[in-house]
Structure 1
């Protein structure tokens, strides 16, 4: 029987595998995971519903939405903004009323103090001397030695119990923002998109069940997450970036309707990924957890 010099757990180095195992079991430290193809949205799916679009529209930043879903989102956001604005205006009116009442009370207090001083100046001088004595540093640690027992609030008396102020409502932003790019989104900025369906002769299989659903409007190349593509604003057709570079950009004319194109009329479609590292998309997800203190 062979004799081993050291056991498998007698290593002097805290290995990567041991560190990952301890991190996952303890819940401390940062966790990273690489997303697979099943976790990535398809290029022709809505960014809100994650389903193939029935009436696809695209934003100027290249994010695809179903028209019904993005309209519901815009309406919901406008209602929320109106509700928050109403709440903010109500709070503003309340604060202005309270401020006016405090100013009025301060003016009345000054008037009362002035009348009191003019009618009895001797008593006013005695009160000033009393305040000067109370403002001196007390010799005792007790707060009740200088007569503060009547001014300090008591937690057992309801009207003297300190209460927390309500949370101040901040003025909401009045612009609806895109849920993906967080940039201002307007209804007139949405562009209708036309996908060219593939001609495979299969009319029985549902569209969502097909792996290849659409092709380039010019070259008939199959579109997918691994194929970069763009939308032409003039026609709404989807073409591949390869077709765009080799054919369309030479004359800057839309081949489907012969309209002149400009750089702003070419909108790269924000796609998912094929799951491979060469897709050029970041597929890593990271969550920072609590760190162990030495």
Structure 2
């Protein structure tokens, strides 16, 4: 491949280094970046507050929330949905009243046309029209240029019938269901499951639990939990265990080791790992921004 000089612009080859340099300086082309550790939410943090959960609850899809935060979210969304439904009903009743008014106006116009037709039976029988009043010179008696057929040739911008009208934006019927902010599925308070994290026993009483790198362990194997360790929640007890524990121990007898209750496949909820502001899941850590492309 041809090697370019520092200020060479007449070469036939557009190298990858030049393309990358021009992309970063001009703002064209798709930009991608790998999300760092500081931008990824920890597995035990709330998906709304991004802080460690004090009273953790989990949805059927495995998204973790703090109980106080998700309750405030549900209450806020219900109020917002109620306001939107009131606005929609108000708009619906207004449209209904307008249609009724138009129907009454149409009936009145038919009545007037009928009265005018019946008021001159000679014209109604012969099919002739009444002559327009005119002066001796043959011109119209009206001085308004809107009554002589010139309304299209000489429109007046101050005439209300000729001015454009701005109508309000039509609202569609709002969704009456509160949806999970992460998955978008309907969310109900009874579907939230209280869970319990097993704190690590490292005999360090001085350091607070939040500042520790390793905070919780598996309730069965005592393995340290983290974003790199797939975890599940046992619905029968609410304890958090590792996926390895489920595959090697629990699935043999399908019994919860912490309380001895029988388990079903639906009772094992995979816990979603840390999401960030750039990507939807901790597994996908590449964030991309689509920008206008620049061709060589």
Q: Same fold (TM over 0.5)?
A: yes
Instruction: Report the counterpart of residue 169 of structure 1 in structure 2.
Output: 171
- Offset at residue 201 of structure 1 (A): 1.2
Distance in 2 (alpha carbons) for counterparts of 1:154 and 1:234: 77
The alignment covers a number of residue pairs equal to 274
Contact 2:40 2:282 in 1 (8 A): no
Instruction: Report the counterpart of residue 257 of structure 1 in structure 2.
Output: 259
Instruction: Report the counterpart of residue 269 of structure 1 in structure 2.
Output: 271
Distance in 2 (alpha carbons) for counterparts of 1:292 and 1:82: 48
Instruction: Report the counterpart of residue 16 of structure 2 in structure 1.
Output: 16
- When normalised by structure 1's length, the TM-score is 0.84
Q: Does 1:288 align with 2:286?
A: no
Distance in 2 (alpha carbons) for counterparts of 1:145 and 1:103: 27
Instruction: Report the counterpart of residue 82 of structure 1 in structure 2.
Output: 82
Residues 96-245 of structure 1: matches in 2 within 5 Å?
96-120=96-120, 125=127, 147-149=149-151, 154-157=156-159, 160-245=162-247
Instruction: Report the counterpart of residue 138 of structure 2 in structure 1.
Output: none
Instruction: Report the counterpart of residue 33 of structure 1 in structure 2.
Output: 33
1:183-222 Cα offsets, whole Å, 9 max, x none, are 0000000000100000011122122211000000000000
Distance in 2 (alpha carbons) for counterparts of 1:152 and 1:107: 32
Question: Which range moves more in the overlay, 151-160 or 34-43?
Answer: 151-160
Question: Which range moves more in the overlay, 206-215 or 9-18?
Answer: 9-18
Alignment gaps of 5+ in structure 2: 133-145, 276-280
Residues 38-49 of structure 1: matches in 2 within 5 Å?
38-49=38-49
Q: Secondary structure at the match of 1:32?
A: strand
Contact 2:47 2:65 in 1 (8 A): yes
Distance in 2 (alpha carbons) for counterparts of 1:37 and 1:127: 87
Distance in 1 (alpha carbons) for counterparts of 2:84 and 2:48: 23
Q: Does 1:7 align with 2:5?
A: yes
- When normalised by structure 2's length, the TM-score is 0.84
* Structure 1 residues 35 and 126: alpha-carbon distance in aligned structure 2, compared to 1, 3 A threshold: farther
- Offset at residue 14 of structure 1 (A): 1.6
1:228-282 Cα offsets, whole Å, 9 max, x none, are 0100000000000001100001000000000000000000000028xxxxx9811
Contact 1:31 1:286 in 2 (8 A): yes
Contact 1:29 1:291 in 2 (8 A): yes
Contact 1:153 1:162 in 2 (8 A): no
Question: Which range moves more in the overlay, 144-153 or 182-191?
Answer: 144-153
Contact 2:29 2:294 in 1 (8 A): yes
Distance in 2 (alpha carbons) for counterparts of 1:155 and 1:23: 51
* Richer in helix (by share): 1
Alignment gaps of 5+ in structure 1: 131-143, 274-278
- Offset at residue 27 of structure 1 (A): 2.3
* Structure 1 residues 151 and 122: alpha-carbon distance in aligned structure 2, compared to 1, 3 A threshold: farther
* Structure 1 residues 30 and 129: alpha-carbon distance in aligned structure 2, compared to 1, 3 A threshold: farther
* Structure 1 residues 262 and 224: alpha-carbon distance in aligned structure 2, compared to 1, 3 A threshold: same
Q: Does 1:69 align with 2:75?
A: no
1:45-90 Cα offsets, whole Å, 9 max, x none, are 0000000000000000000000000000000000000000000001
